[in-house]
Structure 1
Amino acid sequence: MATAKDGVLSLAIEKGPTTPRGSQMFDDGVNHFGVENISAIEGKWVPAMPSNLNTFNQMVRGGMPLEEAAANAFTGKMAARHGFTNVQAQNVVGDPGAYTNVLVRFARQGVRWKMLQLTSVSAFTKDAVSLICSAFSQWTNPSS
């Protein structure tokens, strides 16, 4: 499923026994759409997909500021590999070190925002990327 919204890429990556590594799925998503078309990467961290949230909370409990803790989570590290190093914790719900809902954005400086948002992908494989890209292409070019 692909929707367009202000140049923000949102990925939901869930590693399974037959999926590629999480870093490969992240890279495939960014590279397919082109880093030049993305102005920010957004993460919504909730207990249902706890990896980023657990790391974030552990870092906060250790005394790390919110933005630095977010940068040390999986999504933060992957976003930084693509040049998205300006971190903003935009919405944080719960008690410090025991947050239950975190909305974080990783942006690049000086990049014009373009429309792109990818959501609700549980197993981000090359086949899923192909289906998403096809849907995105049809949405952005309805006459083709």
Structure 2
Amino acid sequence: MTDTPTHLPPFHLAFPVHDIAAARAFYGDLLGCPEGRSTDDWVDFNFYGHQIVAHLAPDEAGHHSTSAVDGDAVPVRHFGVVLSMDQWQGLADRLSAAGVKFVIEPHVRFKGEVGEQATMFFLDPSGNAIEIKAFADMASLFAK
């Protein structure tokens, strides 16, 4: 598929965490993701319209490698979402106010280039890397 659809189907992502209660506090309370179904070993969250599932797997959690992107050491294994600039700034402000330690501080990368974007990286309590980004022009999401 080469065109960006006007409506994207929700994606599903399962990822390991070391503590379900910590995942609930982080994704539910801090990020504001409503909780769906759950058991003692996993919990669903609505991550901006997408289904993410935190699975209890203490030995699997965390990120381990980085890759250079526009001068930043980006965690290779990460997930995230693309927000509007206003949503992105609001979340960056909320995370900063909560004392979240950023792996990569909120900033704009590829300034003046195709694909210019606001980005930030942070870790959940299990060390899983999350990237939240925004484009001033969403049409440049897949631009070369």
TM-score when scaled to structure 2?
Answer: 0.28
Which structure has the highest helix share of the two? 1
Greater RCO (Cα-Cα under 8 Å, separation 6 or more): 1
TM-score relative to the length of structure 1:
0.28
